[in-house]
Chains A and B, each alone.
Chain A
Amino acid sequence: MRGLTRRGWIMAVALGAAHSAFAGDERFIVIVHHDNAVTEVDRDFLRDAYLKKATDWSHGETIRPVDLSGRFGVRDVFTREVLRKTAAQLRSYWNQQIFSGKGIPPVEADSITEMIDYVAANPGAIGYLPAGTAPGRAKVVGVK
C-alpha cells in the first residue's frame, strides 16, 4: 500500500465502486420451475412474493417462494436488496405475521441442493442461489 500512487488510489477506488455495484446486482440468481414461462421478474414482484403480498403468477399458478436459511450469506444480500429490509426488520415483520395469524414465512431450504430440488419439483416455486451456482433442473430468470 505504501507504494500506491495517486493514480493507483483512484483506480482502486473506482474498481472498488464497480465491484460493489456488480456485487449488488449479481450476488444472487433467481430460479423458477423449468416449465414456468416467465423469463424475467422485477424486484417489486420478488419483494411481494417473498413477503407473501403477491399470491399468483401471471399465468395463475400459486407463487411458492422458498428462502435460504440464515446460515447463507446471500440471504442477507437478498433481504437487503430485494426485500429492502434489514435482517431485524424482516424478523420483526414475520413475528408480526406469525403471531397475529396473518401469515407464515416462506419455507426455508437448508442447502443449495434442497433449494434446487424444491424449485424444480414445484411449478409455482421461486428461489434464489448464490451467483455462479449451477441451477440444476431449475430455470434461471433475469431480475430487472
Chain B
Amino acid sequence: MPAPESAAEPSTLGSHLPELQIHGFASEGAFLSTANDYIGESSQGDLHFFEAGLNVSSEVADRLRVGLQLYGRDMGRFRDLPPRIDWAYLDYRWKPWLGLRAGIIKMPFGLYNEYADIDASRLSILLPQSVYPLQDRSALLAQTGFSIYGEHAFGAGGGLEYQAWLGTLDIPNNALDVDGATLDSVDTRYVTGAQVFWHPPVDGLRIGATFLRASIDFNLTLSDANIMALIAAGVVPPTYDGKLVITQSPTSLMVGSAEYLAGDWTFAAEYSRWLTHQSSTLPLVLPAFDRDNERFYVMAARRLSERFETGGYYSVYEVDANDRAGHDRTAFPIRSNAFQRDLAATLRFDVNDVWLWKIEAHFIDGTADLEPAANPTPERYWGMFLLKTTVTF
C-alpha cells in the first residue's frame, strides 16, 4: 500500500550521498535434457546451477566512481569457486560525451554481453546461445585495460551511445576444455573493440553494432598418450616434450543489434559473425585454418502483469557460414555438429521486487555447441528444460 504522500517523517538520508552501495544476487536452479549433455550432465538432470555475485560501489568524488564485484558459480561443468573478481575499476565521467574507465571492465558485445550474469534484468534463463554462449562467458565477459565511453544527442536525430576499449583478456585455465591435453595458460596479446548504438527519436528503440578483435595464444601440454602417438607417427622428434601453442590471431567478432521496448513488449534481434584464423606450432598435426561462424537470433517478450512475463526466441548458430548444413564430411563427420537451431520459451514469475522464478524449455535441432568428449554420439533433435530462482538486492 503506498505511503501517505504528505507524511512528514524524521530525516535519515541527511545532506550527504551514501558513501557505499552494496548489491548482490544469488541463483540456484536445475536443468534436464532429453538427450546429449549440455552445460553439465543434463541428460541425467543436474542441480549444479548456482551462481552468486556481490559488489560494492562508491561515488568517491564528483564524477568519480569506483567499484568491485566478486562472482562465483558452480554451473554444470563451469566452476568459478572460490569466487573471483568479475570487474573492478574506476570510472571518471568527465562529461556526458566522454568518460574513462580503467581496471577490469565488463566488455560490451551486442545488446547483452555486459549483462550476461544478471538474471533479474531479462526474461530468459539462457541468453540466446548463438551470440552469448555460456562456455565463452569467462573469456568474453571482461577485459583488463581501459575504455572510453559517452553519449551525444542530435536533437531530432536522436542520440549516439558509444564505447571503445583496449586491454587484455584474463582467461582462467578452466575456461576451456581441451581433449587430450592440459591447458597451461592463455596469453592474450590484446583485445580491442568499439560499440556504437543509435537511439532514434522513437522511444525504446536502439540500433547498434559492435566490433571486437583479439589475438590469443593457448599454451598446452599434450597427454602422454598423444605424445607417444605423435612420436610413433614420426611427426615430432623423439625428444618432443608435448608443448603446443595454438594461436588464434586475429579473432574478429562483429554483431549488429536492434532492440525495441514498447510498453510491456520487448523485441530484439542480433546478427553476428565470428572470424578466426588459427595456427599452431605443430602444423602437421594441427594445420592452420580460417573459420567463419554465423550466429543470429530473434526474440520477443511480453510482461503480462506485475508478476508474470513470458516470451521466447529462435537462435541459430552455424559453425561455418559457407557450409551451413555441414556437407563437408571432413570438417563435420557428424553432420549435425555444423549447426544448432534453438527455439526457446520462458515464463518468469516475480514473487516480489527482489525474488523471481523462471522455467524455460528449449527445442533444439543440431549439436554444434555440445562438448565433443561428453557427446561422442550426439542426437540431432533434443530438448532441454531449466528451472531457476534468483534473489537480487
Contacts and interface: CB of A to CB of B under 8 A. Distances in A.
A143 interface: no
A104 B13 contact: no
A114 B16 CA distance: 11
Nearest to B354: A91
B120 A71 contact: no
Contacts of A96: 114-115, 118, 121
Contacts of A100: 87, 106, 114-115, 118
Contacts of A118: 11, 13-15
Contact of A55 (B93, B114, B117): B93
Interface residues of A, number: 48
B63 A101 contact: no
A112 B57 contact: no
Contact of B303 (A48, A55, A86): A86
Given A54-B96, A55-B95, A107-B17, A99 B55 contact: yes
B46 interface: no
B377 interface: no
Contact of B306 (A56, A73, A88, A112): A88
Nearest to B17: A107
B21 interface: yes
B6 interface: yes
A20 interface: no
B53 A99 contact: yes
Given A70-B353, A98-B55, A111 B8 contact: yes
B42 to A, nearest CB: 26
Interface in A97-144: 98-104, 107-115, 117-118, 121-122, 130, 132-133
B263 interface: yes
Interface residues of B, number: 54
Contacts of A88: 303, 306, 309, 350
Nearest to A111: B9
A70 B3 CA distance: 9
B13 A109 contact: yes
A110 B5 contact: no
A95 B87 contact: no
Given A114-B13, A118-B14, A99 B63 contact: no
A112 to B, nearest CB: 6
A92 B122 contact: yes
A39 interface: no
A15 to B, nearest CB: 23
Interface string A78-95: 000000111111011101
B234 to A, nearest CB: 52
B13 A98 contact: no
Interface of A is mostly: mixed
Contacts of A111: 7-11
A72 interface: yes
A71 B3 contact: yes
Interface in A14-28: none
A38 interface: no
Contacts of B59: 104
A133 B13 contact: no
B18 interface: yes
Contact of A62 (B3, B63, B67): B63
Given A100-B87, A101-B69, A114-B12, A74 B306 contact: no
Nearest to A117: B11
Contact of A117 (B13, B25, B122): B13
A112 B12 CA distance: 11
Contacts of A109: 13
Given A99-B115, A101-B67, A121 B17 contact: no
Q: Lowest 3 CB-CB distances: which A-B pairs, in order?
A: A121-B15, A111-B9, A73-B2
Given A118-B11, A130-B6, 15 more contacts: A84-B203, A86-B263, A88-B306, A92-B122, A99-B55, A99-B69, A101-B55, A101-B106, A102-B114, A110-B12, A112-B9, A113-B10, A113-B11, A114-B13, A118-B14
21 contacts: A48-B96, A62-B62, A74-B5, A88-B303, A96-B115, A98-B21, A98-B23, A99-B23, A99-B55, A100-B106, A101-B55, A101-B87, A110-B9, A111-B9, A112-B7, A113-B10, A117-B15, A121-B14, A121-B15, A122-B15, A132-B6
